[in-house]
């Protein structure tokens, strides 16, 4: 049978390894909680106390440090920032043949997939105006 301290150590390693892939601090706190339960398992063999230390420490870490991590690792809402591209002019890089065929345009130095708002074909080098955003593609019209 595997000793409790080994299980807590393995769980801690798994949580901390998962944190590397998520980078959200969501797995970091249970990893620390499992480490605290590991230390507790060295002091007492009572599994209920070990689980209690794990649960309470994880919850307390999330409650008291999540707002702090949110402050330091602010994320911006890209959907709102992308709306700033509406109305800007761009140039067609890859032909857009009709309203269903995706082409490519360059706006402010960024490449975007684009379709026309009507069936007007646009050739490479044509100037366009961005009318709206549909998912990850721009809806454009000839400038």
Long-range Cβ pairs for the range 83-87 (8 Å, 24+): 83/133, 85/130, 85/133, 85/138, 86/130, 86/131, 86/132, 86/133, 87/129, 87/130
The candidate with the shortest Cα–Cα distance to 58, out of 75, 79, 35, is 35
Q: What is the pTM (predicted TM-score) of this model?
A: 0.51
pLDDT tens-digit map of 32-69: 999 999 999 999 999 999 999 999 999 999 888 877 77
Partners of 137 in the β-ladder: 113, 134
Pick the CATH number of 78-142 from 3.50.50.60, 1.10.10.10, 2.40.50.140, 3.20.20.70: 2.40.50.140
Least confident of 36-50, 62-76, 102-116, 121-135: 62-76
**Residue spans in the chain of domains classed CATH 2.40.50.140:** 78-142
pLDDT tens-digit map of 62-85: 888 877 777 776 655 445 566 788
CA distance 36 to 50: 8
The candidate with the shortest Cα–Cα distance to 5, out of 42, 33, 31, is 42
Q: How many CA within 13 A on the CB side of residue 136?
A: 3
Using the Cα atoms of residue 82, residue 87, residue 89 and residue 90 in order, give the sign of their dihedral: positive
């Amino acid at each position: 049978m595997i000793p409790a301290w080994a299980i807590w150590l393995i769980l801690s390693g798994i949580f901390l390894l998962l944190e590397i892939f998520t980078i959200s601090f969501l797995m970091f706190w249970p990893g620390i909680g499992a480490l605290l339960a590991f230390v507790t398992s060295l002091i007492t063999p009572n599994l209920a106390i070990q689980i209690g230390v794990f649960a309470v420490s994880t919850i307390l870490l999330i409650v008291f440090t999540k707002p702090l991590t949110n402050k330091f690792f602010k994320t911006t809402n890209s959907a709102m920032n992308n709306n700033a591209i509406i109305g800007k002019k761009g140039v067609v890089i890859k032909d857009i043949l009709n309203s269903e065929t995706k082409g490519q345009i360059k706006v402010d130095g960024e490449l975007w997939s684009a379709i026309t708002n009507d069936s007007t074909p646009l050739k490479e080098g044509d100037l366009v105006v961005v009318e709206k955003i549909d998912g990850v593609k721009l809806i454009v019209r000839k400038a």
